[in-house]
Structure 1
Amino acid sequence: MEIRKSKFNYVYIIWALLTVFIAVIIIKNVLSISTAAAWGINIVLFICVFVLNYGLVGDWRNRIRHGLKKPATLNEVNGLNAVNDEVFEQVSKFYPKLKKAELFVIAEDNINAYALGLNTIGITKGALSSLNIGQVKAVIAHEYGHLANRDTLNLILFNTSFTILSIALLPIYILSFLVGLVFAFMEGMLSGDSKVSTGLLSVFTRILRWSYLKYNEIGYYFVNLGSRDFEYRADEVSAKAGYGKELLSFFYVLEQLDNDVRKGFLALLASTHPYTSYRIKNIENFIGITSSTDKIDYHNNSKLVN
């Protein structure tokens, strides 16, 4: 079976471009410069912010920011190295250009794992102690799926565009503060009180901040459409690499932990991940499980780290 292409890649691209375009308009008008100069400033800023979040510098920074640690004990080192070698070999059969990721441990008790930047995968201590070896391999293969499909790149491009917008808004905050200060001084000289000026400045900055946050929030609603589809696609990478039944086993563990609570349409829109039951159904269809006679070992207690 061929792994589907995400239907929502373009959402990240369009929203990022729209956000950068808004930043260009703001910088052009606030600084009273040409459109070409405004684009130049934005491009330079975009490259600087992007480098800080993606690639060698970005991965190093993200590892520190998220508290990722290299495997420490012999159990972790030997076990994770073996898993990483095997999973990378399996996934790279379908993605020859995929680079081997560095595997890190996250000091958290919950069951979780995530891919970061260019070649970083983190998995929690809770996952290592709770999941069996097959389930850990399936989870790592899923994260390799995100790296292979450049899902982390899409998210960083989106976040970078919002960072550029927030930088573009700084001159407005500074100018409004200076203008407010001047009017407050004049008002104070005339009446001895500057409540009107300071009040208007406060209202203006609150409206500006509210508008920025709402624009950001709406953007994430749209982008999460893509994010949820990326999760389905990464699941399919794990299954295609040979870990489909192990992944289903992991999903049943996950479903028991969170009871797959469905909180309504708006909660789903705000979620980066689909409901676990939907992911189970997707993988069952993907690997061709059609009845309860297709046995899956949900109770294998062979752990990677004891």
Structure 2
Amino acid sequence: MIKMEVRKSNSNYLYIVWSSLTVLISIMIFRKIFPMALFPTVLLFLSIYGLLLFMNYGIFGDWRNRLRMGLRRPATSEEKEYLGRLNDEVYLNVKRHYPHVKKADIFLINENGINAFALGFKTIGLTTMALTDLTDGELKAVLAHEYAHLAFKDTFHFILFNSSFAILSIALVPLYVLGFFVCFILAFFEGLLSGGSSASLSEGLLNMFIRLVRWGYITYYRMGLYFVNIGSRDFEYRADEVAAKAGYGEELLSFFYRLERESLDVRKGFFALLASTHPYTAYRIENIESFLTETRQELP
């Protein structure tokens, strides 16, 4: 058994900090419009937040998101036997190092391109192309990588982040309504002054207000993505190391070299790099090669 520890990561705090900040901003916006007491407002928003988490994480959340993303269970006898065998093996090898990990359900999505992802509580999604094009070893390595995301609850931190922005969207609804009524009143008086022939000024103000709020929301969301994706890239390195620790390091390298040969890792510009949830494939290869080298050196 490989005893070497994978990297320690505190990047989940990035998600917690930004999600908490977003919920706090949402409460402040809401209280500016509705002069409610602080405690009932906080209780209201935390209740909504809890409901959103329930809808996206856990048994119900997984079921809902599988439907939303168009995932399907393995259906043919070949799919069931093959994926069942691989899932059993990978789960046991990961569980040997991380006993708390739960056995995942593997689902398929009919899409071109090789891709896999962990979803919510205990779901792993695979594209049909990954199923048909990857070797047994490569597919095991990919599954082990996704098991690592589930073991460290990386998916839960993504849901924390996205749910906080759903809360912000809810908090902005009264602001839109207030802006509409203010512009409606202005349009009424503008119509009186112009003899009912025009309300172009009020319409322009309303459009400007909506665009300004939308711009603020999108800009803040992008800032949040840039911030938490530092953690996301760290999660990917850690998940790669977990797959290697579970015994699939060489197979994972084979998969990454395949990606490099096919030149699938293309991103241009500084902001594209900041927005990336995954590190460069070459960096991931370097990290796993170093990890495997250090592991061999630890062996007696």
Aligned to 1:299: none
The aligned runs of 1:163-202 (5 Å cut-off) are: 163-191=166-194, 192=196, 193-202=198-207
TM-score, normalised to structure 1's length? 0.92
Q: Deviation digits for residues 234-277 of structure 1, max 9, x if unmatched?
A: 00110000000000011111111225445243221111111100
Q: Among residues 113, 117, 132, which one is paired with 2:135 in the alignment? A: 132
Offset of residue 49 of structure 1: 1.1
- Paired residue type of 2:180: F
**What SS does structure 1 have at the residue aligned with 2:126?**
strand
Aligned to 1:271: 276
The aligned runs of 1:75-224 (5 Å cut-off) are: 75-191=78-194, 192=196, 193-224=198-229
| Aligned mates of 1:162, 1:117 — CA distance in 2 | 17
Q: Deviation digits for residues 112-155 of structure 1, max 9, x if unmatched?
A: 00000000001111111111000000000000000001000000
Aligned to 1:303: none
- Taking only the aligned residue pairs, the percentage that are identical comes to 56
- Paired residue type of 1:146: H
Aligned to 1:248: 253
| Aligned mates of 1:56, 1:186 — CA distance in 2 | 54
- Paired residue type of 1:58: G
| Aligned mates of 1:263, 1:105 — CA distance in 2 | 30
**What SS does structure 2 have at the residue aligned with 1:288?**
helix
Aligned to 2:45: 42
Q: Are residues 1:10 and 2:13 paired?
A: yes
The aligned runs of 1:280-291 (5 Å cut-off) are: 280-288=285-293
Offset of residue 106 of structure 1: 1.2
Aligned to 1:25: 28
- Paired residue type of 1:257: E
| Aligned mates of 1:102, 1:269 — CA distance in 2 | 32
Offset of residue 75 of structure 1: 1.2
- Paired residue type of 2:139: V
Q: Report if aligned partners of 1:17, 1:161 keep a CA contact under 8 Å in 2.
A: yes
- Paired residue type of 1:157: L
**What SS does structure 1 have at the residue aligned with 2:163?**
helix
**More deviation in 18-27 or 3-12?**
3-12
TM-score, normalised to structure 2's length? 0.94
Q: Report if aligned partners of 1:260, 1:277 keep a CA contact under 8 Å in 2.
A: no
Offset of residue 199 of structure 1: 1.0
**What SS does structure 1 have at the residue aligned with 2:125?**
strand
**What SS does structure 1 have at the residue aligned with 2:111?**
coil
Aligned to 1:294: none
- Paired residue type of 2:43: G
- Count of aligned residue pairs for this structure pair: 290
| Aligned mates of 1:233, 1:77 — CA distance in 2 | 29
| Aligned mates of 1:210, 1:155 — CA distance in 2 | 23
- Superposed structure 1 runs of 4+ greater than 6 Å apart: none
| Aligned mates of 1:266, 1:198 — CA distance in 2 | 34
Aligned to 2:298: none
| Aligned mates of 2:167, 2:30 — CA distance in 1 | 10
Structure 1 residues 214, 262: CA separation in 2 closer, same or farther (over 3 Å shift)?
closer
Q: Report if aligned partners of 1:103, 1:120 keep a CA contact under 8 Å in 2.
A: yes
Structure 2 gaps, min length 5? 296-300
Structure 1 residues 204, 264: CA separation in 2 closer, same or farther (over 3 Å shift)?
closer
- Paired residue type of 2:84: N
| Aligned mates of 1:109, 1:56 — CA distance in 2 | 28
